[in-house]
Amino acid sequence: MTIWYGGDYNPEQWPREVWPDDVRLMNRAGVNLATVGVFSWAKLEPRPGEYDFDWLDDVLDGLHAGGVRVDLATATASPPPWLAAQHPETLPVTEDGVRLSTGSRQQYCPSSPVYRERARRLVERLVERYAEHPALELWHVNNEYGCHVSHCYCEVSAAAFRTWLEAKYGSIEELNRVWGTAFWSQRYDSFAEIEPPRTAPSFPNPTQLLDFDRFSSDELLACYRAEVEVIRAASDVRITTNFMGFFKPVDYWKWAQHVDIVSDDTYPDPADPVSSAYAAMVRDLMRSLGGGAPWLLMEQSPSAVNWREQNAAKSPGQMRAWSYQAVARGADGVLFFQWRQSQAGSEKFHSGMVPHGGTDTRVWREIEQLGTELRDLSGGEGTASLSGSRVPAHVAIALDWESWWAIEQPASPTSVSYLETLFAWHRAFTALGLVVDFVRADGDLSTYRVVVAPAHLVATDAQLENLAGFAEAGGTLVVGFGTAITDEHLHVRLGGYLGERLRQTLGVWIEEFAPPAAPDLRARGGGTPPPVPLTGDIFGGDATGSVWAESVRVEHAETLATFTGGALAGWPAVTRRAAGAGHAWYVATLPEPAALGRLVSRVVEEAGVEVPAAVANAGDVEAVRRGEFVIAINHGRQTAVLRLEGTDVLTGAPASGLELPPQGVAIVRS
Q: Considering all CA atoms of the chain, what is the largest pairwise distance in Å, rounded to the nearest integer? A: 76
Residues 6+ away with beta carbon under 8 Å from 638: 618, 620, 662
Residues 6+ away with beta carbon under 8 Å from 132: none
Sheet holding 621-626, edge to edge: 621-626, 629-634, 665-669, 647-648
Can you state the angle between helices 172-179 and 206-232, rounded to 10 degrees? Answer: 120
Catalytic position from the list 219, 299, 402, 550: 299
Q: Which is nearer to Zn ion, 198 or 375 (CB)?
A: 198
The answer to whether residue 95 is catalytic is no
Q: How many residues bind ligand GAL (CB under 6 A)?
A: 11
Distance CA 579, CA 470 (A): 10
User: Minimum CB separation from Zn ion for residue 152, in Å?
Assistant: 3
Stretch that binds ligand GAL, among 142-150, 359-367, 447-455, 660-668 (CB under 6 A): 142-150
Q: Establish if 303 lies at the interface with Zn ion (CB under 5 A).
A: no
User: Minimum CB separation from Zn ion for residue 90, in Å?
Assistant: 8
The C-alpha R_g of the chain, in whole angstroms, comes to 26
Q: Which is nearer to Zn ion, 154 or 644 (CB)?
A: 154
Distance CA 18, CA 157 (A): 43
Stretch that binds ligand GAL, among 139-147, 373-381, 427-435, 522-530 (CB under 6 A): 139-147
The answer to whether residue 144 is catalytic is yes
Q: Establish if 350 lies at the interface with ligand GAL (CB under 6 A).
A: yes
213, 284, 299, 400: which one binds ligand GAL (CB under 6 A): 299
Q: Establish if 144 lies at the interface with ligand GAL (CB under 6 A).
A: yes
177: phi then psi, degrees, rounded to nearest 5 = -65, -50
Residues 6+ away with beta carbon under 8 Å from 218: 164, 254
Stretch that binds ligand GAL, among 140-148, 211-219, 475-483, 585-593 (CB under 6 A): 140-148
Distance CA 653, CA 328 (A): 19
Q: What, of ligand GAL, Zn ion, none, does residue 144 touch, CB below 5 to 8 Å by kind? A: ligand GAL
Tell how strand 550-554 and strand 541-546 pair up: unpaired
Catalytic position from the list 45, 137, 144, 227: 144
Subset of residues 258 to 297 that bind ligand GAL, contact rule: CB under 6 A: 265, 267
165: phi then psi, degrees, rounded to nearest 5 = -65, -40
Q: Mask 630-659, x = binds Zn ion (CB under 5 A)?
A: ------------------------------
Q: What, of Zn ion, ligand GAL, none, does residue 267 touch, CB below 5 to 8 Å by kind? A: ligand GAL
134 CB-contact burial (10 Å; exposed 0-12 / middle 13-18 / buried 19+)? exposed
Q: What, of Zn ion, ligand GAL, none, does residue 4 touch, CB below 5 to 8 Å by kind? A: none
Q: Establish if 154 lies at the interface with Zn ion (CB under 5 A).
A: yes
Q: Which is nearer to Zn ion, 122 or 152 (CB)?
A: 152
The DSSP bridge partners found for residue 574 are 561, 587
Tell how strand 532-536 and strand 558-563 pair up: antiparallel
Q: Which amino acid is at 367?
A: I
Q: Establish if 140 lies at the interface with ligand GAL (CB under 6 A).
A: no
Q: Establish if 615 lies at the interface with Zn ion (CB under 5 A).
A: no
Q: What, of ligand GAL, Zn ion, none, does residue 157 touch, CB below 5 to 8 Å by kind? A: Zn ion
Q: Verify cis geometry, omega within 30 degrees of 0, for the bond prior to 107.
A: no
Task: Using CA atoms of 468, 471, 476, 478 in order, give the dihedral in degrees to the nearest 10.
Answer: 10
User: Minimum CB separation from Zn ion for residue 116, in Å?
Assistant: 12
Q: Which is nearer to ligand GAL, 147 or 641 (CB)?
A: 147
Number of neighbours of residue 651 by Cβ within 10 angstroms: 11
By 3-state DSSP, what share of the chain in percent is helix, strand and coil, each rounded to 5?
A: 35, 20, 45
User: Minimum CB separation from ligand GAL for residue 341, in Å?
Assistant: 11
Q: Which is nearer to Zn ion, 92 or 302 (CB)?
A: 92
60, 63, 77, 109: which one binds Zn ion (CB under 5 A): 109
Q: How many residues bind Zn ion (CB under 5 A)?
A: 5
Q: Which is nearer to ligand GAL, 305 or 485 (CB)?
A: 305
Stretch that binds Zn ion, among 106-114, 270-278, 323-331, 444-452 (CB under 5 A): 106-114
The DSSP bridge partners found for residue 395 are 436, 450
Q: Establish if 143 lies at the interface with ligand GAL (CB under 6 A).
A: yes
Complete DSSP assignment for 146-167: TSS-S---SHHHHHHHHHHHHH
Q: Which is nearer to ligand GAL, 146 or 499 (CB)?
A: 146
* Contact predicate 647/669, CB 8 Å: yes
3-state secondary structure of 14: coil
User: Minimum CB separation from ligand GAL for residue 298, in Å?
Assistant: 8
Sheet holding 33-36, edge to edge: 238-240, 136-140, 69-73, 33-36, 4-9, 331-336, 295-299, 263-265, 242-243
Q: Establish if 152 lies at the interface with Zn ion (CB under 5 A).
A: yes
1, 42, 131, 147: which one binds ligand GAL (CB under 6 A): 147
* Contact predicate 433/612, CB 8 Å: yes
Q: Which is nearer to Zn ion, 195 or 272 (CB)?
A: 195
Nearest residue to ligand GAL, scored by beta-carbon proximity = 337
106: phi then psi, degrees, rounded to nearest 5 = 55, 30
Q: Establish if 305 lies at the interface with ligand GAL (CB under 6 A).
A: yes
Q: Establish if 71 lies at the interface with ligand GAL (CB under 6 A).
A: no
Q: Establish if 391 lies at the interface with Zn ion (CB under 5 A).
A: no
Binding positions for Zn ion, rule: CB under 5 A: 109, 152, 154, 156-157
> Annotated catalytic sites, by residue?
144, 299
Q: Which residues bind ligand GAL (CB under 6 A)?
A: 143-144, 147, 265, 267, 299, 301, 305, 337, 347, 350
